[in-house]
Amino acid sequence: MPTRALGPFEVSAIGLGCMNLSHAYGQPPSREQAAALLHRALDLGVTLLDTAALYGFGANETLVGEVLASQRDRFVLASKCGMQGVDGVRVIDGRPETIQATCEDSLRRLRTDVIDLYQLHRWDKQVPIEDSVGALADLVRAGKIRSIGLSEVSAPTLRRAHAVHPIASVQSEYSLWTRNPEIAVLQACRELGTAFIAFSPVGRGFLTDVALDPAAFDAKDIRRAMPRFTPSHLAANAALLTGLREVAHEAGCTLAQLALAWLLARGEHIVPIPGTTSIAHLEENLGALPITLSPAQLARLDHLMPPSAIHGGRYSTQNQSEVDTEEF
């Protein structure tokens, strides 16, 4: 298993986003199915598992803790604070006292005495980033967490945070159809020695060989509120996949593997964390690791799917207002 640096850790070059096992895309799998997938990921050499207090309003951390507490030394545990469920409602709260309380709750659910990478899920714009990162730094000094990450922040915010305490990682959406990190934050990460964790690296299922039908999405599927998944936008975006499939065929891989191989080629500091509920898809995703795309193929992919060709925003107006990332 090839590895990449993430703060003080060496982690598998492809990690696992655990959100899907409890949250976001409709009915989650059974506990038995989720446990089987987590165990299979470890057996295949995945050493970065990413969860959050938000996912399932604590259920995802509880799942990871119950299933893997006895194997805690086999993986780097990443979780998030600053956005969680309060009385059944999603709340962004980056106040130091809330971060400290959330960490205690996460440690209990995860059945561990330390979280390896604790990330601010969203910057609460009512709280200076320096205050939130200061609270995380206090948790490092207390031995509750080992390193600090941020999610969905811009390059200037990253630099402000890094001045308070070294930032091990920035986690944001990044894929062939979401190129916003290329505006500034990827370069800022390179300069600061910060890893970049790419979530939704296969476009929430768009960059796969499975044709998506918005009408078939579960009522609780978060893609229903995302503009680029509306039928008209999705149809326009799907037309872009024809050229990508040609490159995948030439490279001898699936579309998902192509998307992951492209990401891995964008920089040694990038660690994709595809999520899935399927062991077959987990194995398919890890099959991207030995694929090396030629400079000509990488250039073709950039030409086939530039940011200007994508129809629809990635978030609703409300959710977009909650992130700090640069936008095209």
Question: What is d(CA 211, CA 185) in angstroms, rounded to the nearest whole number?
Answer: 31
Pick the closest to residue 305 from 195, 175, 153 (CA basis). Answer: 175
Question: What is d(CA 171, CA 186) in angstroms, rounded to the nearest whole number?
Answer: 10
Pick the closest to residue 273 from 156, 119, 131 (CA basis). Answer: 119
Query: Is 174 annotated in the active site?
Result: no
Contact 120, 149 (CB under 8 A): yes
Dihedral sign for Cα 264, 201, 198, 299, please. positive
Alpha-carbon torsion angle 301, 305, 308, 313, nearest 10: -130
Residues 6+ apart with CB under 8 A from 228: 177, 234, 237, 310, 311, 312, 313, 314
Among candidate residues 55, 118, 174, 315, the one labeled active-site is: 55
DSSP secondary structure of 129-193:
HHHHHHHHHHHHHTTSEEEEEEES--HHHHHHHHHHS---EEEEE-BTTB-GGGGTHHHHHHHHT
Residues carrying an active site annotation? 55
